[in-house]
Amino acid sequence: RRQRQMCIRDSVRVMDKLKILVVDDESRMRKLVRDFLEREGYAVLEAGDGMEAMDIFYEEKDIALIILDVMMPELDGQEACMRIREFSNVPIIMLTAKGETIDKVAGLEMGADDYIVKPFSPTELVARVKSHISRYEQLTNRESSRPQVLRCGNLVIDLSSHQVFLQDKEILLPNKEFELLAFLAKNPGIVFSKDTLFERVWGEDSLGDTSTVSVHINRIREKIEEDSSKPYYIETVWGAGYRFRR
């Protein structure tokens, strides 16, 4: 009975906290991340592989962020990320032991919002977690009584509901892709360099490089353009950057 009472109290405490799902096949790594996140007041759920992560994510409807290792048995992190992106925009931070740019780009192409290379500073990871959750909460804040809708041809961007429609069909965009598209659409006709877009969308303190911008632009084009090789909505201004059509 005493153990049952303790479980009830734990459940109540978890209900008051933001939930973060940590997915890694190394138990020591999960414990390290969990300890630092719990010190910051987060509730941490753990999974040892991609399949277990998917099961937990289907059951838990209010996970605020996922920390996802790349190399895992059963279902690797990239495949799990891609499956989650089929129905959710929840922020995803990839953990990888690979530092090459091509591996980082691959993770972003699967829909991840950020990546961090092992070994890493736990305090840096916590800082990124806070940043992504804060941005996601701002984007999904539905308290505004006056929805803001941007229209360009057959493309409709609803800033208040965090939705994008193309010819009345909803296009699911992960957090960073939506932020980038919305920023460009709110400033039509203005050319922004990759450096400026990275600073405005990812933030001055974010780690990474401008190749991240190119990857996200390409992924957005694949979803909203009739022919991504001849984009209509997001134009490339060679040597200068990108602009959204007026």
Q: What is the per-residue pLDDT for 11?
A: 35
- In the 8-state DSSP scheme, what is residue 162? T
Distance CA 116, CA 99 (A): 9
DSSP H or E stretch at residue 66: strand 63-69
Among residues 242, 236, 218, 231, the alpha carbon closest in space to that of 153 is found at: 231
Among residues 161, 171, 125, the alpha carbon closest in space to that of 140 is found at: 161
Distance CA 129, CA 167 (A): 35
Q: Is the pLDDT of residue 98 over 80?
A: no
Both structure tokens of 194: 């990759």
Both structure tokens of 33: 């991340």
Question: Phi and psi for 115 in degrees, rounded to 5?
Answer: -145, 155
| CA 206 to chain centroid | 14
Q: What is the per-residue pLDDT for 204?
A: 59
The most confident of the ranges 114-118, 144-148, 175-179 is: 175-179
Q: What is the per-residue pLDDT for 203?
A: 77
* Range with the poorest average pLDDT among 160-169, 190-199, 202-211: 202-211
Distance CA 137, CA 120 (A): 25
Which tens digits make up the pLDDT trace of 44-79? Answer: 999 999 999 999 998 887 899 999 998 888 888 888
Q: Is the pLDDT of residue 38 over 90?
A: yes
Q: Is the pLDDT of residue 146 over 60?
A: no
Amino acid at 228: S
pTM of the model: 0.58
